């Protein structure tokens, strides 16, 4: 098992990209809420020396520039069964749309699971790639995001459909 990481400079600041063998396992912001266990980071490598991490950085750059709508990367998510279920639902949220923690909990069969859903969303190790920024609080209010609310708003604005942008006055 070969873990490694590299730092990619992006529009959202430096992101730590983590890979294990042939899969991307983490995308972390500086001051990330839930920091990865240092042992899972592995050796630090130069971005240009690792094909997978370099490709992840390239696709992130394209995505943040509005040139890519989705990621085409091998990923591996390490978490318990509940987290895996929540993360799979995050991946199903269409670009340009949002959902709430309560809606996800209801899809899991119990609206009372909203707080637990929020914890799973907050532990998503693949920020941006697995789009946890598309989950908002009740009434569409922005709530916590590992990269901060400014970054969350940036990502939501980036993904907003052109028709909706055109309808806004400001």
Predicted local confidence at residue 34, as pLDDT: 73
> The pTM is what?
0.89
Q: What is the DSSP letter of 94?
A: P
Question: What does residue 96 show for φ and ψ, rounded to 5 degrees?
Answer: 85, 0
Question: What does residue 51 show for φ and ψ, rounded to 5 degrees?
Answer: -60, -45
| Residues known to be catalytic | 132
Local confidence pLDDT in tens for the 170 residues of the chain? 589 999 999 999 999 999 999 999 999 998 766 777 778 888 999 999 999 999 999 999 999 999 999 999 999 999 999 999 999 999 999 998 999 999 999 999 998 999 999 999 999 999 999 999 999 988 878 887 777 789 899 999 999 876 555 555 55
Does domain 81-160 fall into CATH 1.10.287.130?
A: no
Domain ranges in the chain are 3-64, 81-160
Predicted local confidence at residue 22, as pLDDT: 94
- Alpha helices per DSSP H over the chain: 38-41, 51-64, 81-92, 101-107, 114-122, 149-159, 162-167
Residue 73 near residue 24 (C-beta atoms within 8 A) = yes
Classify the C-alpha dihedral 127-131-134-137 as positive or negative: negative
Residues 8, 24: Cα–Cα separation, whole Å: 13
Residues 162, 72: Cα–Cα separation, whole Å: 23
Helix (H) or strand (E) holding 27: strand 23-28
Predicted local confidence at residue 39, as pLDDT: 80
Residues 133, 147: Cα–Cα separation, whole Å: 9
Predicted local confidence at residue 162, as pLDDT: 60
């Amino acid at each position: 098992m070969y873990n490694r990481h590299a730092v990619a400079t992006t529009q959202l600041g430096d992101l730590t990209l983590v890979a294990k063998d042939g899969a991307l396992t983490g995308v972390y912001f500086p001051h990330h809420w839930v920091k990865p266990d240092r042992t899972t980071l592995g050796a630090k490598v130069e971005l240009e020396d690792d094909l997978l991490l370099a490709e992840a950085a390239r696709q992130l750059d394209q995505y943040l520039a509005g040139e890519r709508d989705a990621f085409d990367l091998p990923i591996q998510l390490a978490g318990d069964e509940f987290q895996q279920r929540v993360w799979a639902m995050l991946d199903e949220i269409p670009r340009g749309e949002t959902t709430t923690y309560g809606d996800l909990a209801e899809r899991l069969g119990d609206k009372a699971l909203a707080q637990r859903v929020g914890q799973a969303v907050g532990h998503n190790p693949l920020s941006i790639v697995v789009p946890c920024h598309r989950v908002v609080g009740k009434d569409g209010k922005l709530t916590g995001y590992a990269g901060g609310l400014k970054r969350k708003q940036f990502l939501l604005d980036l993904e907003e459909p052109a028709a909706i942008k055109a309808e806004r006055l400001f």
